[in-house]
Amino acid sequence: MAETADERDERLAVVFDQLLQDSRGGSAAARLEDTIRRNPDLERDLRELFATARMAEDLALLDTLAGAPADGLSLGSPGSSVLRRSSSSDGGWGSGSWLSGADVLQVAEGRRSAGRNSLFSLIGSQIGDYSIEAEVGRGGMGVVYRARQSSLQRTVALKMIPNAALASSIDLQRLRAEALAAARLRHPNIVPVYEVGEQDGQPWFSMQYIPGSTLSERLQRGPMPPREAVSLLIPVVEAIGAAHRAGVLHRDLKPGNILIAEDGTPFVTDFGLAKRVSVDDQASAGAAGLHSLTQSGAILGTPAWMSPEQAGGQTDAIGVAADVYSLGAILFAMLTGRPPFQGASPLDTVLMVLEQDPPGIRMLNRAVDSDLEMIVLKCLQKPQDLRYASTTALAADLRAWLNSEPITARSSTIAQVMTRLFRESHHAAILENWGLLWMWHSLVVLLLCLITNAMQLNGVSARWPFVTLWVVGLGLWALIFWNLRHRAGPITAVERQIAHLWGGSMIASSMLFAVESIMGLEVLEFSPVLGVIAGMVFLAKAGILSGRFYVESLLMFGTSLVMAAIAASDLPDVSVSLFGVMSAVTFFVPGLKYYRQQRRGRRQGF
């Protein structure tokens, strides 16, 4: 009997999923040709779908090479045929999604069958007590239909995966998780779930149907007046606070997931990426006690609205602060008409979220005052502990602003200022790549200084032996150091900045010999300047990487003074040895810390 079109499409989906699984082990092209030999009638479709999947895989590789996975497309778990995609669109009911072979099949099928109805259209069908009338929203996690509930004679929104037979188990689990997460929440500004069910293996849930538009659609007309924006956002912030208190993190807050009813009431929807947490209060919601369908290293959310910890794939570090960040990003867009970060691609946007500061709101909209800008920027701080500790605190500041009262975002105690001064920046994670190298560097510098001092104390006065030792020796070590770092993985833009600082300090140290010669001074007479150069390098590192390097900077500045005092005294001139010891300590101690941190992370599988 001849194969029907539906049977052929189903066979294509199965064959293509198996091809994706087999290709994980390598020789993808060979496996494609082998699959085509076994299924010659599917050759054209398989080649189209395989090219699409390889494009997705290439983007995932680019994400990895950039040092942090990006939104867009990225690989799922090893050995899985699933490619995860967080939707870059901001429309309606959408959220982050997973792209499987079946999903790629839908894309290709849609292209091939233009002009005829979708293979999986459910409009006009009956799902339990519901008659499906029209599609009102579509996202990676499923489709939302307007449906009529016969028993209660009411219109509802029905969310489901129309092609459940071809969906991955993760898709189905996520839909069920979304239903359970939303069903346990009770707040006037969260779309309520009415019923959760399953028909023929296809999960679905019904919820209140809210005619109106999304905040995303409203922002297409431009920024909102500040007071209108804040008044609209406060109920949303309070709704998310209620979710946090119930142990649910949203993790995909964006304008497209905020519905605005016809009377102007905002509603939070789409808990498809929600994470359940065990918390006693909002401030403690974080890495402990998490129950999630995601794995460490996966990126969740939409690039323009996700927090830096989400952009970095640090799923175990995502807590209340991530939702606070997204609320700040939404308020930024409400005030300016654009998200805080806009890149040419999802990957560019993710890198901006990780590395750059948002533009000043008042530069984009002069109608926004400095206090409201301060509230938004506090939400958008990259370190989590610098954001609002809870949505309650954020809502309180927004209400204070509405009432022309002082806001807490401007208040800081001395202890808070000192904590911020000495804390790590969001770039500090790169130091794990340098830990072991810094430990080796400390030994090289110590050895170099001890040899130099020994030559000096033994009466070597010629300049060329010292020049050879420092210029050639340091130059060779620099080449070895940089080559070893290259082998450890891709180098980020921040690491290049640090490398330029280090290279500049090496050039400056070697140039001291030329300056001494031109000025007619004895060799090593400018050696105390070595401490000044090192202190300046650590001062720059403190501003870029971690405030703790202020300590190393002070130590090296102090060392230069002691070196000068020793050189001016009648004591044996061991100033270069002192510099070597102090340099070794300032490199070895943080190097050991970050080396251990890297080892600990690897043991935990991060």
Distance CA 589, CA 416 (A): 26
Q: Which of 440, 420, 424, 384 is nearest to 541 (CA)?
A: 424
Tokens of 227: 């007071």
Contact 368, 335 (CB under 8 A): yes
- Sign of the CA dihedral 95, 98, 101, 104? positive
Residue found under tokens 């779309």: 191
Number of helices (H) and strands (E) in the chain: give both, helices first.
Answer: 21, 15
Judging by beta carbons within 10 Å of its beta carbon (0-12, 13-18, 19+), is residue 53 exposed, middle or buried?
Answer: buried
CA Rg value for the chain: 30
Q: How far apart are the first and last CA of the chain?
A: 52
φ/ψ of residue 137, rounded to 5 = -170, 145
Other CB atoms within a 10 A radius of the CB of residue 277 amount to 22
DSSP class of 469:
I
Instruction: With CA atoms as reference, report the closest residue to 71 among 247, 305, 273, 228.
Output: 305
**Dihedral-angle region of residue 362 (phi above 0 means left; psi in -120 to 50 means alpha; beta otherwise):** alpha
Q: Is 80 exposed, middle or buried (0-12, 13-18, 19+ CB in 10 A)?
A: middle
Reduced to 3 states (helix: H, G, I; strand: E, B; else coil), residue 249 is: strand
Shortest CA distance to 452 belongs to which of 466, 468, 442, 441?
466
The number of beta carbons lying within 10 Å of the beta carbon of residue 568 is 11
Give the residue among 341, 363, 364 at the shortest CA–CA distance from 352. Answer: 341
C-beta of residue 559 within 8 angstroms of C-beta of residue 567: no
Return the closest-CA partner of residue 109 out of 101, 118, 99, 98. 118
252 counts as catalytic:
yes
Q: CA 429, CA 314: separation in Å to the nearest integer? A: 11
For residue 182, give the nearest of 265, 241, 137, 248 by alpha carbon. Answer: 248
> Measured between alpha carbons, how far is 341 from 352 in angstroms, rounded to an integer?
6
Catalytic residue among 252, 270, 316, 397: 252
The residues carrying an active-site annotation are: 252
